[in-house]
Structure 1
Amino acid sequence: MEGLCKLINLEELDLSRNGFKGSLPACLNNLTSLRLLDLSKNDLHGAIPSSIFSNLKSLEYISLSYNHFEGSFYFGSLFNHSRLVVFDLSSNNKYLKVETENPTWSFPLFQLKLLLLSNYTLNWPSRVIPSFLFRQYDLRVVDLRYNDLTRDVPTWLLDNNTKLEYMSFESNSLTGVLDFRSNSKHFHMFLLDFSSNCIHRELPPFIGSIFPRLEVLNLSGNALQGNIPSSMGGIKRLKSLYLSNNNFLG
């Protein structure tokens, strides 16, 4: 892979779904014209050096998912990448620690459309939801499954990102209530998953009216109470509905 580092005018590098082994070569930082970097679904291991992206300010798309990285990765190293719209670091192991809060930055220069960052030791030991998300307003896909995140359910993500299509916080430790706004409409949302958390109290009675085009709704494995709202019947496109392992009545 190091031989590719000499292609300094390269704009797209897609080596996904191969059998590449070893660590990320530091010389990738020479590819200053790179817009797309996809090394997903290989057998790469070792650390992801934060410095590897320091010169790659043209990057719009980064996918390093489904490898075997270890050590720590500081997400703040990407905050000056104003063109970045896709970041995919989905995983099937817990050996990589991802830190978004240290060092502390005021806000990122990018506006992401896709953030896939599942199955990590994320922001340990605080386990907070990445605070930079408060400054994101164009998200379409958010996948933060299996990260053991705590604090209240981040319904504010829906308020800030009206074009959200897919949002999953499955298998975390989120608490609080589903505090959706009654006058909001999320016409683009087709999958909403807060399963296997610690969400309690009742479902909003108007939940069906604010997600009219939802296809998958998974709220199983929480501590929800009360009745299942009749407004659910208004979600005409619903294909999969999971409400098991709660405390519903009626």
Structure 2
Amino acid sequence: KLPNLELLDLSGNDISGSIPSSWSGIVDMFSLNLADTGLTGSVGDNLAGLKTLQLVELKLAGNQLTGALPDPWSGPQVVNLDVSRNSITGSAPGFLGNSYLRSINFAHNQISGPLPLEWTFLSYLEEVVASGNVLSGTVIPQDFTKLTSLRTLDLSYGIPTASSVPPLTFFTKLTTLENLNLAGLGYDTELDANWQDALLNLRSLNLSMNDITGGWPYGASSGTGFPSLEVLDLSGNPSFNPYINDLVDRLV
């Protein structure tokens, strides 16, 4: 027994099987990393044995977990959750009652439907990574503009149906964003002229592997540029014509 254990990192080992139910007795554990350990079985069953723990961080990435995430959420009340690179299906849970959640990463699964409206009540939410899924419907609720702590949003290669892809103009409303990844979503339009004025905090912008047309727009108040931008990826847009000198002039 390890009654005083607070942090357990077994990532990269081969433990296979499911999380033992006896782990529910490690009541002081606040961080558990079981990424890339060969876990199998239902994600709901694996989480059931952890729901009594006061975990702050839970990493189950890179395993062979199946089924849907429990909704209503019956897992531990975590702050940082990473279940990426599994075979999880169904829709994303609303996480009602998990008000301190800051980071959600379910990239590269088979999660469908929209991002839940309930997430707009997660006032501390900073990061959503949903790339490589099969999201559909109204993927991002309009009320996501209420998430004043949101810093990172990654939807790349995660919305296979063109009619479900949010218009580029929507993202100008998410003014707190620092990292935005919209790669591989099939955009075939020009960039919105207000981007440079609205997204002043943006540090990283990935619009690669789309079909964006035109050139780089001036902001509504010409010359503002992106004062915080450090990384810009526009590769794989054959119809985009940036005129490189003009692009640099507009970014500085």
String of CA shifts for 1:201-235, please: whole Å, max 9, x gaps. Answer: 44213587421342322223343357556252364
Distance in 2 separating the partners of 1:226 and 1:183: 15
Please give the residue correspondences for 1:1-250 in structure 2 after superposition, counting only pairs within 5 Å. Answer: 1-2=19-20, 3-24=22-43, 25-28=46-49, 30-41=51-62, 43-51=63-71, 53-54=73-74, 56=76, 58-67=77-86, 69-72=87-90, 74-91=91-108, 96-100=110-114, 107-123=120-136, 126=137, 128-131=138-141, 133-147=144-158, 148=160, 150=162, 151-162=165-176, 164-181=177-194, 184=197, 186=199, 188-206=201-219, 209-222=224-237, 223-224=239-240, 227=243, 230=246, 232-233=248-249, 235=251
Aligned-residue offset at 1:29: 5.2
Runs of 5+ in structure 1 lacking a partner?
237-250
Aligned-residue offset at 1:87: 0.4
- In structure 2, relative to structure 1, the CA distance for the partners of 1:88 and 1:153 (3 Å cut) is same
**Are the equivalent residues in 2 in contact too, given 1:149–1:173 (CA < 8 A)?**
no
Q: What amino acid maps onto 1:30 in structure 2? A: K
String of CA shifts for 1:2-50, please: whole Å, max 9, x gaps. Answer: 2313334432222224333333325235325222211123x22211332
Sequence identity percentage: 20
- In structure 2, relative to structure 1, the CA distance for the partners of 1:230 and 1:78 (3 Å cut) is same
Return the structure number with greater strand share: 1
TM-score normalised by length of structure 2: 0.72
**Are the equivalent residues in 1 in contact too, given 2:95–2:119 (CA < 8 A)?**
no
Q: How many residues align?
A: 224
**Are the equivalent residues in 1 in contact too, given 2:39–2:65 (CA < 8 A)?**
no
Aligned-residue offset at 1:115: 0.9
Q: Which residue matches 1:245?
A: none
Q: Over aligned residues, Cα RMSD in angstroms? A: 3.2
Distance in 1 separating the partners of 2:203 and 2:191: 17
**Are the equivalent residues in 2 in contact too, given 1:80–1:108 (CA < 8 A)?**
no
String of CA shifts for 1:125-178, please: whole Å, max 9, x gaps. Answer: x3x43215333222221111112363454344344333x222111001234432
Q: What amino acid maps onto 1:28 in structure 2? A: G
- In structure 2, relative to structure 1, the CA distance for the partners of 1:75 and 1:60 (3 Å cut) is same
